Amino acid sequence: MTLPILYSFRRCPYAMRARLALLASGIEYEHREVVLRDKPADMLVASPKGTVPVLVLPNGQVIDQSLDIMLWALRRNNPNGWLENEEDALNMIVQCDGDFKFHLDRYKYPNRYDGANVVEHRAKAAVFADVVNVKLQNTPQNYYTFNSCLGIYYAGYMPFLRQFSNTDKVWFAAQPWPDLQAQLATFEASKAFTTIMQTYAPWQAGAEAVIVNSAKYSFFPIF
């Protein structure tokens, strides 16, 4: 049987959210781990822009934006109810991918951006963290325990907030965001996150296929 193929990179937050949604969907796929400085020719043929994640479907269709991969998977199969509050979730993901990511990159990698002021960019990125913290405060507690990873809503941007928190853990822990800090800890400890962070050898043409979400490599349900 021909399966969808996901080109992915373990530490890429965009690829993380695609893998989370694919895991939640239970859709079986072939995982191809990519080394960013040595991208496989097959991936570049499918998507010349050269970013991960890229999903190649058996009919040849290529989905090369992480959010589109999430929506493709969850609209096809959504046994964990990950599309609840979809409109609000998408609005939050747009904020994450826009201003927040812009300032996160400059906070995290100031050397890559001429004249980037770390403290200024951290303060601007913190605006989104604050919004998420308020949202979490207003979310009924049982929602967390019912669905420990909270669906596309949080899978869409938790990998990015995780990068933000890891850039300076001491500073992050000192911020007045108890709900966000707790939710990030829950996210990192979740079965879903540990599953999608498992390591794979870089893919090479001709290598044995790594199948994800099959009984052999994964488990279902995930929460």
Summarize as ranges the residues that interact with ligand GSH (CB under 6 A).
9, 12, 14, 36, 50-53, 65-67
| Between 15 and 136, CB nearer to ligand GSH | 15
Shortest CB 165 distance to ligand GSH, Å: 17
Report in angstroms how near the CB of residue 37 gets to ligand GSH at its nearest.
Answer: 7
Closest CB 34 distance from ligand GSH, rounded Å: 8
Tell me the one-letter amino acid at 205.
A
Which of 22/136 has CB closer to ligand GSH?
A: 22
Smallest gap from residue 54 Cβ to ligand GSH (A): 8
Q: String of b and e for 167-200 (b: at least 16 CB within 10 Å)? A: beeeebeeeebebbbebbebbeebebbebbeeee
Return the number of the residue (71 or 118) whose C-beta is nearest ligand GSH.
71
Rounded to whole angstroms, the Cα distance separating 155 from 20 reads 7
Sort 212 into a burial class: Cβ within 10 Å, 0-12 / 13-18 / 19+. buried
Residue 17 or residue 122: which is nearer to ligand GSH going by CB?
17
Note the maximum CA span of the chain: 52
Give the nearest distance from C-beta 111 to ligand GSH in angstroms.
16
d(CA 141, CA 145): 7
Q: Which is nearer to ligand GSH, 64 or 177 (CB)?
A: 64
Distance CA 88, CA 153 (A): 8
